[in-house]
Structure 1
Amino acid sequence: MRILSILLCFLCCGYSASAKKKVPVILVAGQSNADGRVPIADLPEELKTYKYCQWSYGSGDFETATGRFSLFSPRVAKPKIEASWGFDAVVYKRLEELWQKPFYVIKQTMGGTAIDTTCTKSTHGWYWSIDAGKKSLLKAFEQQIDKCLLTLSPQTLDIRCLIWHQGESDQPAADRYYDNLKAVITHLRQHLVEVTGEQRYASLPVICGTFAKGSRQGSKKVSAALYRLQSEDVNFHVVDASDLSLQNDQLHFDAKGAITLGERVFEKLTFRQASRP
């Protein structure tokens, strides 16, 4: 019965039939594996060009408040490795093939960032906690969304889901990850309700990936928190990444791992090739 409920949720995206006529929007957030750390040299030919995916990419202070969109092209904001890509490039390509019409991505990612502010190594003092003040990535993300909504107009869009991959940097505070991530999701959902006036976003679907078994920063407690959230929230969905391959750093997915994770996230998002925006 639960499987059927999830299927129906994603086929309809939890919303009315009229909402399906609107422009689809995908939210993406997290740390380095969501940002993308696979060298561009390993990018498959089919993922090099895009036709319909328009994105707004923020990373802390990087282009967060502009609200501008551009045609998606795989890259990251981290100096010296700008020519990199992640699993989300696969998701966008598959959505282009499925939908055959323009859609938008609002992405806020930064490598090495934690939710819990007691994790002192979080990059440049940025945290996903709303309590992190000017260094709150959650606030930066919400401000970025607000700017993008001015461009798109809430009345013409349909925010389909949040794709989230994060948690490696919360390994030292793994006992609190359940509460911390739940607070992040709750805050983001409520923010969307407030800025759009659409109560349906209080149950915005979340798709969240786990970690490869060999990850040096993977945490069983963090993964357990993800599955606990899935058991309690019918709109929270976990994608298993435990069997995926990593680069030599034993942290970031390699090309094969990123592609597989992207395919799994896409399948979780759509379930059936026949679904249309």
Structure 2
Amino acid sequence: MKSQIIKFIFTLILVISYSCSNDNSQQTNLEEPNIDKPQISVPFIIVVGQSNAEGYAPYSSAPLWLAGNNYELNGYSIWNKDRKIFQEFQLGVNVGSELNSDTRFGFDIFFAKRYIEEFNKPLLCIKQTLGGIPISEKGSGQIARWQASVNLIPKGERVMVLELAQKIKEAQDYAKKNNIKLIPIAILYLQGEADANHSRRLADYKNNFLILKSYLRNLAGNNKLPFINSEIFYRDNKYKKVNSIFKELNLNDPFFKTVNTSGNQTSIGDNLHYDAAAFEFIGNTMFNYYLDLKKINK
């Protein structure tokens, strides 16, 4: 019975996505919600960060359960920023990253798989990730910044928090149009390398991260939303300093947990980007922490 329910809900989401993608190309004039249709509550996660949040694990290392299903994860749909719909995760088609057709993957698929299996519910995701992006506004020019104090970001650079806010607004408009209520359940975060590489950025990291964490929770509309991240590689003392900041802040925020990757820091060969095995550990541990934090929130 539970499997039939999840199949029904996910099929409905796909039908809605398909119908929306075949509407008139002008989607700015959203229809009013159909009050005759029952509203469906669907959980979603927000995935943010830089390259390790985006996921650099290659196609060839995909787990058998993904590869054997045409590289799709049934029940897991990610916001497609180009089509403005939630679309099923599939490597090479829609992964929600900067390049939507990327064939690489990250930790989020392992979290999603566990969630779907545990709760027999579909899971949605809004992802905002880009490689090499710091929080800090300091240092040499960047493509973008995660700085939540947006007035500090140099002109001409992308503002990641505002881009994420726009995605969330568009997703909420889409959901409202289709009588879907989006329920945020967690923010999953992996970032810090670009700030660790620059001493001035590193000096500000604790304060910048605290402001960003609060900003992201406010975007989701819940100041107690589970915020779960992972350590970055222990490359040098600067990288270890970032990890120590996370550990310190875990003590002050009961809804913030950091995955300790000691013993699981396997990379794609550069001692910087996690591989499939590490992502599996991170995603599974994030889900375990989510279950713990879910009990506290009750």
What TM-score does the superposition give when structure 1 sets the normalisation length? 0.77
- Report which stretch shifted further, 183-192 or 249-258: 183-192
Aligned counterpart, 2:65: 46
Aligned counterpart, 2:167: 144
Tell me, in whole angstroms, the C-alpha distance in 1 between the residues paired with 2:283 and 2:216: 23
RCO higher in structure (CA 8 A, sep ≥6): 1
* SS of residue in 2 equivalent to 1:219: helix
Aligned counterpart, 2:202: 174
Contact 1:67 1:145 in 2 (8 A): no
Cα deviation code 1:161-218 (max 9, x no counterpart)? 100000000111222111001111112222333xxxxxxx0221100100233x4696
- Which consecutive residues of structure 1, in runs of 5 or more, have no partner in the other structure? 1-20, 194-200
Structure exhibiting the larger radius of gyration computed from Cα positions: 2
* SS of residue in 2 equivalent to 1:116: coil
Q: CA deviation at 1:256?
A: 1.4
Q: CA deviation at 1:108?
A: 0.7
1:247 aligns with 2:268: yes
1:228 aligns with 2:253: no
1:114 aligns with 2:134: yes
Q: CA deviation at 1:67?
A: 3.8
1:70 aligns with 2:87: yes
What TM-score does the superposition give when structure 2 sets the normalisation length? 0.72
- Report which stretch shifted further, 113-122 or 216-225: 216-225
Tell me, in whole angstroms, the C-alpha distance in 2 between the residues paired with 1:222 and 1:137: 20
1:162 aligns with 2:187: yes
* Cα 1:226/1:121, change in 2 over 3 Å: farther
1:128 aligns with 2:117: no
Tell me, in whole angstroms, the C-alpha distance in 2 between the residues paired with 1:57 and 1:167: 25
1:56 aligns with 2:79: yes
* SS of residue in 2 equivalent to 1:25: strand
* SS of residue in 2 equivalent to 1:156: strand
Instruction: Choose which of 216, 226, 231 in structure 2 pairs with 1:205.
Output: 226
Contact 1:211 1:240 in 2 (8 A): no
* Cα 1:119/1:92, change in 2 over 3 Å: farther
Report the aligned-residue RMSD: 2.7
Q: CA deviation at 1:105?
A: 0.6
Aligned counterpart, 2:286: 265
* SS of residue in 2 equivalent to 1:163: strand
Aligned counterpart, 2:103: 83
Letter in 2 for 1:164: Y
Cα deviation code 1:134-171 (max 9, x no counterpart)? 61101111111111111223982321110000000011
Aligned counterpart, 1:3: none
Contact 1:169 1:217 in 2 (8 A): no
- Count residues in correspondence: 237
Cα deviation code 1:81-133 (max 9, x no counterpart)? 921111111111111212222221111111111000113264x2x00013236
Tell me, in whole angstroms, the C-alpha distance in 2 between the residues paired with 1:256 and 1:109: 20
